[in-house]
Structures are given as C-alpha cells and as structure tokens.
C-alpha cells in the first residue's frame, strides 16, 4: 500500500480530490448569479459571456470534475484498510459522479453554447442541467460525508 489514512501522501491525494471538486462546481454557484446580473442589466454581451463560459466548461470545470473523480478512486484505494471500494456508499459515489459527467456533457455545455449562439431555447436546457448538476453535487456531498451503509 502506498499510504494509509492520515499519512501525508493520503492527505495530499484527499486535498487534491476536494480542491478539484471545488473548482468543478464553482460555476454552479457563480454562473447563475452572473447570468441573472447580465440579464437584469439589459446587457447585450450575454452571448459573448456565455461563449467564454462554454470554452471554460470543458477546459477547466469538466476537466476538474473528471480529475476529482479519478483522485477519488485514488483516495478510496489508499484507504482500503478502512473503506472497501465495493462498499455501497463508494459505489453510489461513482454512479453519481458518472451522472454528473453525463449532465455536464449532455445539458450544461450544449446549453452554454446555445446561449452563446443566441438560441433562446438553450436557456432552459442550461437551467435544468445546472439545477440537476447542483442537486447531484449535494447528493455527492451527503454520500461522502455521511457514508451511508457503513
């Protein structure tokens, strides 16, 4: 085993796992507020802003979501003495992570690109995707904090 819970390598892996999770979900908090502010100000730059957001979704946020999950596998593997990868809460966490990636790629990013292109119907796709992604994030936090089933 490379490290045990509480060892420096484990703590570094856990820190990176949590940090990339924060980076991945920063837009879930910031973008709806930004979008509302632009709309309320009557700003015409909204499509341009969403163009920039769409570019960063995969480069920064999507990559962080994927890396966070992969680091989570590493954290689980490093804690095999305490937590077994086959435990229900870890399996549930993997399923939720896969679902989050699906929502990001199927709803959020296309919605952002649509808003950037001026497609009014894309706004609903983006809103639904953002809400589902935020809900999945909360579910993921509950799973990771309470570890149901152990």
- Span 52-110, pLDDT tens digits: 899 999 899 999 999 999 999 999 999 878 888 889 999 999 999 999 999 999 999 99
- Single pTM value for the model: 0.89
What does the pLDDT average to over 117-134?
90
Q: Which of 63, 35, 54 is nearest to 113 (CA)?
A: 54
Query: What span, in angstroms and rounded, lies between the C-alpha atoms of 109 and 3?
Result: 37
Rounded Cα distance, 80 and 82, in Å: 5
Whose tokens are 């953002």? That residue is 130
How many CA atoms, within 13 angstroms, populate the side-chain half-sphere of residue 141?
10
User: Torsion angle, CA of 31/32/35/40, rounded to 10 degrees?
Assistant: -150
Query: Which DSSP symbol is given to 147?
Result: -
Distance CA 142, CA 120 (A): 34
Asked if residues 81 and 149 have their Cβ atoms less than 8 Å apart, the reply is: no
User: 1-41 pLDDT, tens per residue?
Assistant: 567 888 999 999 999 999 999 999 988 878 878 877 887 88
| Mean pLDDT for the stretch of residues 124-149 | 93
């Amino acid at each position: 085993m490379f490290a045990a819970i509480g060892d420096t390598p484990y703590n570094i892996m856990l820190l990176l796992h949590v940090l990339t999770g924060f980076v991945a979900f920063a837009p879930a908090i910031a973008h709806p507020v930004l979008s509302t502010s632009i709309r309320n100000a009557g700003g015409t730059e909204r499509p341009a802003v969403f163009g920039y957001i769409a570019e960063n979704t995969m480069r920064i946020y999507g990559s962080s979501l994927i890396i966070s999950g992969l680091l989570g596998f590493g954290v689980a593997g490093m804690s095999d003495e305490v937590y077994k990868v086959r435990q229900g809460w870890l399996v549930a966490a993997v399923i939720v992570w896969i679902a989050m990636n699906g929502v990001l790629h199927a709803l959020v990013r296309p919605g952002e690109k649509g808003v950037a292109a001026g497609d009014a119907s894309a706004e609903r796709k983006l809103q639904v995707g953002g809400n589902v992604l935020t809900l999945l994030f909360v579910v993921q936090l509950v799973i990771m904090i309470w570890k149901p089933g152990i």
